[in-house]
Chains A and B, each alone.
Chain A
Amino acid sequence: DAGITQSPRHKVTETGTPVTLRCHQTENHRYMYWYRQDPGHGLRLIHYSYGVKDTDKGEVSDGYSVSRSKTEDFLLTLESATSSQTSVYFCAISEPGGDRNGYTFGSGTRLTVV
């Protein structure tokens, strides 16, 4: 009964193909985020959402797009996957009053682009 789930957990894809990662929450949190995690870089923000159909770019958004048509789902799409997008992707959620509420992270998606 995890409050946030990511799918798939692992994926291998070929360079140039589109890929969509899904984040699903059951907590009804307003804010949702996509981060990527690479050795030596920590967690870097790709895109975030502050409500249904309200999204904006993070620090490393090039090559990625997102959509949020429902409160519970936040999709991350790699339009044409490249090897530099091989990474572990984490979705996170938080409540308004973000400076007082911590993030809850999903279990991550390990993506390999070959």
Chain B
Amino acid sequence: QQPVQSPQAVILREGEDAVINCSSSKALYSVHWYRQKHGEAPVFLMILLKGGEQKGHEKISASFNEKKQQSSLYLTASQLSYSGTYFCGTPRMDSSYKLIFGSGTRLLVRP
């Protein structure tokens, strides 16, 4: 039931783009995205609520495809500050407010 994230890790040069995917074997009606820097707490980025909806946060945007049961996080023109681990979270089937998190994607942006 845990969503699957890919890739597990990615290394970028500053200014490059990246895509992180999150997919589920169960039907999804919302997806959360969080970023966690080393040694810190996860920080909420955005929620995708509707199929096909895209939202943005700085130069980070995301899409959500209900039919394909997946969401993608797009990081464009990456900055050093984007480094960290990105998690997607999906609500449990029995409750909309309890999230199950993927195992994370480690992103390293180098100068």
Interface residue ranges, A against B (CB under 8 Å): 31, 33, 35, 40-45, 48, 50, 58-59, 90, 94, 96, 98-108
Chain A residues with Cβ below 8 Å from B2 are 42
Query: In the bound complex, how far is the Cα of B98 from the Cα of A31, in angstroms?
Result: 9
Check A40/B29 contact, CB under 8 A, given A45-B98, A58-B98.
no
Residue of B nearest to A41 (CB): B103
Q: Which of A44, A59, A104 contacts B44 (CB 8 A)?
A: A104
List residues of B (97-111) whose CB comes within 8 Å of A's CBs. 97-104
Contact between chains at B49 and A99 (CB < 8 Å) = yes
Contact between chains at A102 and B32 (CB < 8 Å) = yes
Chain B residues with Cβ below 8 Å from A106 are 41
B58 an interface residue at 8 Å Cβ cutoff? no
Instruction: Kindly provide the distance from the CB of A5 to the nearest chain B CB, expressed in whole angstroms.
Output: 11
Check A98/B96 contact, CB under 8 A, given A42-B87, A42-B101, A43-B101.
yes
A-B contact count (CB 8 A): 63
Chain A residues with Cβ below 8 Å from B30 are 99-100
List residues of B (34-49) whose CB comes within 8 Å of A's CBs. 34, 40-47, 49
Contact between chains at B43 and A94 (CB < 8 Å) = no
Instruction: Kindly provide the distance from the CB of A6 to the nearest chain B CB, expressed in whole angstroms.
Output: 9
Query: In the bound complex, how far is the Cα of B95 from the Cα of A42, in angstroms?
Result: 20
Contact between chains at A40 and B103 (CB < 8 Å) = yes
Q: Which of A33, A50, A99, A105 contacts B29 (CB 8 A)?
A: A99
Contact between chains at B87 and A48 (CB < 8 Å) = no
Check A103/B32 contact, CB under 8 A, given A90-B41, A98-B91, A98-B97.
yes
What are the interface flags for B4-40 relative to A under an 8 Å C-beta threshold, 1 for contact and 0 otherwise?
A: 0000000000000000000000000110101000001
Q: A45-B100, A50-B97, A103-B34 are in contact. List 10 more A-B contacts (CB 8 A).
A: A42-B101, A42-B102, A44-B101, A48-B98, A98-B96, A99-B29, A99-B97, A102-B45, A103-B32, A103-B89
Chain A residues with Cβ below 8 Å from B87 are 42-43
